[in-house]
Structure 1
Amino acid sequence: MRLMWSQKTQGMGRQVKLIVFTDLDGTLLDHARYDWSAARPALTALRAADIPLILASSKTAAEIAPLHAALELGEWPVIAENGAARVRPGDTRDDRSAYLRLRGLLNALPVPLRALYRGFGDMTDAEVARITGLSPEAAALARARQHSEPGLWAGDDSARDAFLAALAEQGVSARQGGRFLTLSFGGTKAGQMGAIMQDLGRNTAIALGDAPNDIEMLETAARGIIIRNDHGAAIPPLAGETSGRIVRSTEPGPHGWNTEILALLARPGLIEEHI
């Protein structure tokens, strides 16, 4: 049965046109196996309702492409490298100038600070594979950066503050994900949402994420869903949780993703009351 989302919200005369933005690792993808099969019922329901699903990740466009194809997401764009880029399927441009500039600024830091950060550009494919659990082939795609640099921080908070301050003077910002501290010249998942919604003619967003770098996306959406992740940095209590606009799943990863999306699709009022 095809779900109908052309209803007007109560008292507002507004047509609800849904779109879903989702993080990948630890959210739609299982933390250990990068598997999404537990979310298949909800993915099928979204497709049946013609609700766009936008993948929003710290992964590169090259990494996301196989998953995008496997999920049969057609021409819907993706948000790559933690919001530093918005990419349409089939875009094969390979401009690494921003990444190379970022690496240059990173390497120009004082040695005591630089030594505490090990980015993907400092690692081999085998090392990235070992740290992430990816296959060597997938790790190579993860290292094909164009806009940002994920890495591991080995120092204390004081040194981290100095590290980030020095980079900020050069226009470099940082975001902590579930596992990696990612550097870029700006751009966020939340910042990409508005343009995509306008392009696709959608006015009501659901967002799902599990890590601190998802907070802005969760807070920007009409409905935010924090997916339980027992393996990474936790999302602190958010203001939207008080009103119920942001909720937390009880199940982790794709299991929680599946349960929460199906619940929303079954009860449109859960979304409409927060628009």
Structure 2
Amino acid sequence: MKHTSLAAAMLAAFAVSGSAMATGLITLPATGFAVPGGTSAYATCNLTGDFGSLESTPPTFSPNGGANNTCAVPSNNPPVSGYSLVVSTPRNIRINNITIGTVTDQVWRNAAGTSCVYAAKIRLNNVDYNPSSAGTQYFEVNDFKRAGFRNRGPVSAGYNFVTRGGSASDEVLFRVGLTSTSVAHVAGSTVAQPLTSVAPISDNWVDFTSDVNFMDPDGSSMRDSSWFYVQSGCTSATPTAVTGALRFRQTGQEGQPVVEISVDGYAPAGANTNQ
């Protein structure tokens, strides 16, 4: 994510549609979203910053409205009113036998035991994930995927952004959709909502597009993701982890190799990682 002027960031904020006034989780319909030319699995959330090529503008959460609020949830404690934290587990993100970061994996549940929010937050370390290559390769999470939501609809999603002062803050969520296909960003030319011919709808996976990297080749870095949320039907059973339910994708935004890391993660009872 490159830094740009405040004026440019404000112009980018006004480029987002009027729906950016609304805060909170948004529903991801199994039929997708109507867009010019057809249908997209993706909803747009915060499009300021050109998918991380420029500096993003965070949500405002103003009680009187404001820009960049689509998909944005004001609180992580709880992310949805009336839900209680059931479990929170830190998990290592590993590649080439190297721990490159962690993901905090959580489940929140309503009192009736019928609806859950599955939460995840990524932090990447100051680590070379491929020391056999010259230089230092920092893994970049362009897309984070979560599995297990088939037959658990309706599915909603969103994010919680935190600013900690100075350059230490989360990266925003650019878009989110019911799909297993991550579409690589090309600076200045990426379609915000790819058609289903490019990214088919999958009612089992939710894909979050962001730009998380301890040391980003484009000149500025956000090592922490926002909290990423999926709300779906669930049961009162004790949450268990599903093998490979969390996926971290480097899609080559700055010319890096295309890489996916798979990690166990909480999912609704009976879930699987089928497409």
TM over 0.5: no
Higher helix share: 1
Find the structure with the greater CA-based Rg. Answer: 1
Higher strand share: 2
TM-score, length-scaled by structure 1: 0.24
TM-score, length-scaled by structure 2: 0.24
